[in-house]
Amino acid sequence: MSNLKSIAESVVEGDDKKVEELTKRAIADGVGIAKILDDGLIAGMETIGELFGRKEAFVPELLLSARAMQAGMKLLEPLLVGSGIKPIGKVALGTVKGDIHNIGKDLVGIMLKGAGFEIIDLGVDVPPEKFIDTVRAGGIDIVGMSALLTTSMSMMKTTIEALDTAGLRKQVKIIIGGAVVTQDYAESIGADGYGANAAEAANRAKKLLGLKGDQK
């Protein structure tokens, strides 16, 4: 167990070399893949997410931790395929049409992946039709929309209405965020959740699927 704690601590420290080395050792020692993932990599990302949410860590640290987590994931992914371990949910993530800002979206993607979600990154300037096509293709649990501009914010409402018209709204939970977005706005347009920052968005996504927001 101490090795798993060291993996988590190394993720928090953003030490990708150490994470790779410790993950290799854990695999060689026969530690379960799910345990390495949950108690090592994801636990580390949850810790950095909490620090980020409290403004005790910042974007550079978050990016280093994400890189460190990925170093471990590269070793685990081939083993996960054969193990039958599935992601806790699938999120389609995009910055809405009329907005090309991607940093906030990418940070949310990092935190969601670190929490155990599979991410379908739709990119930026995403029209409602692309969200609809992605949901229609199946398997999506949550749609995440980002906007940084007041001029593009209304596209979130338009996209939710388009999903409703397409008969797909009840199939997914919708979470929104971005510098100009508020909880009140989320409620006013019929979104299921709002994330004030990347860590909060990941916790909210877990809660929307009935999982505890502060645990794996």
pLDDT at 216: 39
**Is 89-208 CATH 3.40.50.280?**
yes
Query: Fold match between 2-83 and 89-208?
Result: no
Higher-scoring residue by pLDDT: 215, 89: 89
Q: Which amino acid is at 176?
A: I
Residue-wise pLDDT for 155-214, tens only, equals 999 999 999 999 999 999 999 999 899 999 999 999 999 999 888 999 999 999 998 654
Convert the pLDDT of each residue in 106-134 to its tens digit.
Answer: 999 999 998 999 999 999 999 999 999 99
The CATH number of domain 2-83 is 1.10.1240.10: yes
| Residue-range domain boundaries for the chain | 2-83, 89-208
Buried b / exposed e across 170-184, counting CB within 10 Å, b at 16+? eebbbbbbbeebeee
pLDDT per position as a tens digit, 76-95: 988 887 777 889 999 999 99
Determine the pLDDT at residue 35. Answer: 93
